[in-house]
Amino acid sequence: MEKMDLYALLRENTYPGRGIVLGLAPSGKKALIAYFIMGRSANSRNRIFDPLPELDGICTKAADPAKLEDPSLIIYNPVRTWGDVTIATNGDQTDTVYDFLAAGGSFEDALRTRTFEPDGPNWTPRISGVVEVSGGECAYKLSILKSADGNGESCRRYFFEYPQPVAGEGHFIHTYKCDGSPIPSFEGEPERVSVPEEAEDFAVDIWNALNEDNKVSLFVRAIDLATQETEDVIINKYDPVWDEAGDEE
């Protein structure tokens, strides 16, 4: 597969939906993870990413709780960490993968218990990824669970494994091929893309490339392969609404 320009892919697609990028920095010394969400409806756009230190990850929250219409499918933990493994997904299957890993199971076995989202006629795919950092090296996996060409009665599960990542490269998977009605699901293998060295640069460039109207939140993590120290960057389009006491509502 030809290596693609991630930022060009994003600029040319007004609605890839939710997306995961996993890769290895050009130095070969850092693993990189990016996860973004987009939205077309007011309910989907009413979200922020918030750090979740106790799970070494993040959660989604309503930017304005008073305007939250339906929390199902939009409020979840996109990123959690189990031991040497960082999990990133577009739904509550993050917790399913975490629970399976904690019980000695596998990424694949966890996702075989799940299917696409019940939001017909779109039947939004569930996309998931894991990055394992151990012994100064990293490996990663990606998955997509999607309907059979829009058939809500049939699920297709795809798994992609990258045991020896190439420095300076990553793989990008997203829920939707493009905008539409219904919205067409992602097709084919994860896209092979270039990735930079620094988490901050990665975050800024992804954010600037995402469609201005539809982008909502972005999370980027860099993991030092030698020390397993992490650097996280969160960008939210919308500011949280605070109550009079100064607490987030």
CATH of the domain at 64: 3.60.20.20
**Average pLDDT score over the chain:** 96
- Give the up-direction half-sphere exposure of residue 167: CA atoms within 13 A in the CB hemisphere: 8
Does residue 248 have a pLDDT over 60?
A: no
Residue 192 within any structural domain of the chain:
yes
Question: What pLDDT digit, counting tens, does each position of 2-55 carry?
Answer: 999 999 999 999 999 999 999 999 999 999 999 999 999 999 999 999 999 999
Residue 249 within any structural domain of the chain:
no
What percent of the chain is predicted at pLDDT more than 90? Answer: 95
Residue 248 within any structural domain of the chain:
no
Global pTM value: 0.96
Q: Which residues contact 211 (CB under 8 A, 6 or more apart)?
A: 10, 13, 14, 15, 38
The predicted model gives 94-105 an average pLDDT of 99
Residue 55 within any structural domain of the chain:
yes
**Count of structural domains, the chain:** 1
Note down the domain range covering 121.
Answer: 6-236
